[in-house]
Structure 1
Amino acid sequence: MEEDKTGTSSTLSVSATSIKVTEVSKDGDALTFIIVSQKLSGTGEYHVDRTYEDFEWLQQHLFSLEDVPGIQGIIFPPLPAKAQLNPSAKLVKQLGLLATGENWMLYCKALEAYLQQVAAHNTLNKTKDLETFLTSAEPPGRQKVKKGIFNRLSQAVEGIRKEGHKDVDEFFKTERDHNFTLTGFSKTAAERFLEVVLTEQKIAMACGHFAASLQLCVEAGEDPDMQTFSKMCVKISEVMVSMKSNVQKVAENNVSTLGLGLDLESRYQEAEKEMLFRRTCKLVELETASRNAERAKPVKKAAMDEIKRAAEKDFDHTSGVAKQEIARFQRARVDVLRQALIQWCEQQLLTAKDSAELYKQHLQAFRGPASSDPSS
């Protein structure tokens, strides 16, 4: 397929919904992710292995599509923070809920969701870099990444100066206010949910320690009281093991369902915030160009007017794309959170049902043979 000057092609050769991050391998401190995607032709699959640096390469190349009209108005799918083996408390806070898993499959799900969102985007899925990332046997991350306009627009000094710039469009003024509120709320919700999960993991660990301690109290001997005491210790230890398993399962359900939804919501609110900031930068550029055109001397008037028209066209493109992106994002975020809540409820109900049956068996074991006697 012939490419245009923006570096995009007309189609992606794989199905967006078929993209899966199926497994992860460890080599020292490095993680390698196996990505499988189904060919649209139906003739087979692509299997590629990618590091996190490869994901960063893809994200930076998406950011560098400066020639695509209105590209600054896109809410780019947010890439999760880099995973760390044996993360410190500080890194756990940075990674959030994605740092709570032991086998990294939760992190794989987050990367999988990122790739599916990029591949489903009507503009981003046309880039040859995405096609290369998903289908090439060679690791794309070894190539040098071009720094695009987003790197320049994200400088701290410029951000402070433009962050609170007054908007000329009531729609975007309202959206910026809503985003500011939701960014804080979604981040807080994810952090509080992480605290719940970490507490559940501590409770599960304590149950395991208590179960092991009870086993140490078991002694062999013919003393009837000691035999009775040892049997009680064994039974209580078994109950504590069941409690440990139950709390662990609850924590896993929390993270793999609602936890993933809250994490994605928080990262996407930040992504929208970045998009709104880029549009604000375009507004500042237009206002600057307009002032320069008004003050220009006759000899430079034509050139300044042309710069103003170009800035106005760029700003209008960005605003138009931004409105479409915001509408799409608001629909998608509701669907994602609804699905996360449904899955969370379903998984916790199943876990509760299984645990209730197990505790019933423990209770019968405590009651002994007499529990089966209707007259008891």
Structure 2
Amino acid sequence: MEESGLSISADSIRVTEVTEDGDALIFTITSQKLNSDVGVCVCRTFEDFEWLQQSLFSQEDVPGLQGVIFPPLPGKPLSSPQSQAQAKALKQLGFLALGDDWKSYCKALEIYLQQVANHSTLSKNKALESLLTNSEPPGKQRVHKGIFSRLSQAVGELRKENHKDLDDFFQNERNNNLSMTQFSKTATEKFLEVVLSEQKLAVACGHLSTSLHLCVNQEGSDAGNFSKICMKLSEVIDAVKRNFEKVADNNLSTLGLGLDMEYRGQEAKKDMLFRRTCKLVELETAVKNAEKAKPNKKAIMEEVKKVVEKDFDQISSIAKEEIGCFNKCKVTLLRSSLVDWCEKQLHTAREDHELFSRQLEACEQLCVTESTENRIE
């Protein structure tokens, strides 16, 4: 891998904390200098991350940039995803909108920064160094949209998405990406439904536990026995509630985050493949124009064709390398999330087994005690 020129160790980058400042969220980023124990800590808003992403997009002096799969930046967070805003946040962010501490969202931003910092081309951009090390935030700096502004019209031409590719490798990649994007989106949505159901069950158990607790000390001849039963049931239901909460949190922080990253990664790959397809259409148009050009314009059209052809070949070459790295990294990331998911759920299952075993023993003891007292009476 080429030297990035970045003074920060990519693997040391962490988004450790998030605080609210009015309607804005402030993210704390820590990292470590290369070959040093010196640490760096900065605070950034989401707009600062957007500034970095746009800076990466606008590198007109980088050959073949359109062949790069840009690490996906999560959508803009809503500082207080409550009531009506919660539905909007779930639609925009999915798993990243869940939780009061924004832990998953911070992890997604952390992965984004690490992917940029580990990229042989993107890591050379001075905006990354500035974002990670400057004590002052980037501010409201205007960034030229560069080559991607010229692609905005092409993005709207859906016919190019179905344009047949001349290269079987890229045609197969486009077909596979189309399927994988849909599959990963469906898997993410279905797993999100599972987590939301677990959270709802936890809330319902909490209400039931509280209701049982309110039945304690009711008047009546059997008030004492009834109160004991209600107290014990309340404890059991509260244990079930905490189990649902832990399982939902495990799902959210491991496999949920992994599926979200997989889906957004496939979308980023899809964007790159579409940019290359647009350049392919541009090349084919240039070839046709050169063939049909009149003698007095033949030389100019041939030169235009050579320039476009050179750009297209360079984009294709970079795109092949990017696809290889992307496929390798996505397997590693998804496998890691699956392993973490299994380990956490196994640990939680063992803890809950011990807890429920104690609750069962307590219930059995309560039944024995009640039976003994009844016989005495």
Q: Which TM-score band applies after superposition, normalised by the shorter structure?
A: over 0.9
For 1:256 and 1:350, the matched residues in 2 are separated by 15
1:293-337 CA deviation, whole Å, 9 max, x = no partner? 112222222221111111001000000001111111111111111
1:2-47 CA deviation, whole Å, 9 max, x = no partner? xxxxxx9951000000000010110121100010110004041111
Alpha-carbon distance change, 137 to 157 in structure 1, aligned in 2, over 3 angstroms: closer
Decide which of 345, 353, 357 is 2:350's aligned counterpart. Answer: 353
TM-superposed deviation, 1:221: 5.5
Match for residue 226 of structure 2? 229
Decide which of 272, 295, 300 is 1:298's aligned counterpart. Answer: 295
Match for residue 74 of structure 2? 80
SS of structure 1 residue aligned to 2:15: strand
Check whether the contact 1:364–1:371 (CA below 8 A) recurs between aligned residues: no
Percent identical residues: 60
TM norm structure 1: 0.93
Check whether the contact 2:154–2:278 (CA below 8 A) recurs between aligned residues: no
Decide which of 22, 31, 45 is 2:39's aligned counterpart. Answer: 45
TM-superposed deviation, 1:166: 1.3
Match for residue 3 of structure 1? none
| 1:276 partner amino acid | L
Check whether the contact 1:153–1:159 (CA below 8 A) recurs between aligned residues: no
| 2:193 partner amino acid | E
Which consecutive unaligned segments of at least 5 residues does structure 2 have? 370-377
Check whether the contact 2:14–2:31 (CA below 8 A) recurs between aligned residues: yes
| 1:126 partner amino acid | K
RMSD of aligned Cα (Å): 1.8
Check whether the contact 2:11–2:114 (CA below 8 A) recurs between aligned residues: yes
SS of structure 1 residue aligned to 2:224: helix
- State the aligned residue count: 364
TM norm structure 2: 0.93
TM-superposed deviation, 1:58: 0.4
**1:137 aligned onto 2:135:** yes
**1:26 aligned onto 2:20:** yes
Check whether the contact 2:206–2:238 (CA below 8 A) recurs between aligned residues: yes
| 1:61 partner amino acid | S
Match for residue 282 of structure 1? 279
Alpha-carbon distance change, 141 to 181 in structure 1, aligned in 2, over 3 angstroms: farther
**After superposition, where does 1:1-376 map in structure 2 within 5 Å?**
10-84=4-78, 85-86=80-81, 87-155=85-153, 158-219=156-217, 223=221, 225-368=222-365
For 1:135 and 1:169, the matched residues in 2 are separated by 43
Check whether the contact 2:4–2:120 (CA below 8 A) recurs between aligned residues: no
TM-superposed deviation, 1:370: 8.3
TM-superposed deviation, 1:90: 2.9
SS of structure 2 residue aligned to 1:142: coil
For 2:154 and 2:318, the matched residues in 1 are separated by 25
TM-superposed deviation, 1:369: 7.1
Which consecutive unaligned segments of at least 5 residues does structure 1 have? 1-7
| 2:55 partner amino acid | H
For 1:338 and 1:123, the matched residues in 2 are separated by 26
SS of structure 1 residue aligned to 2:26: strand
| 1:200 partner amino acid | E
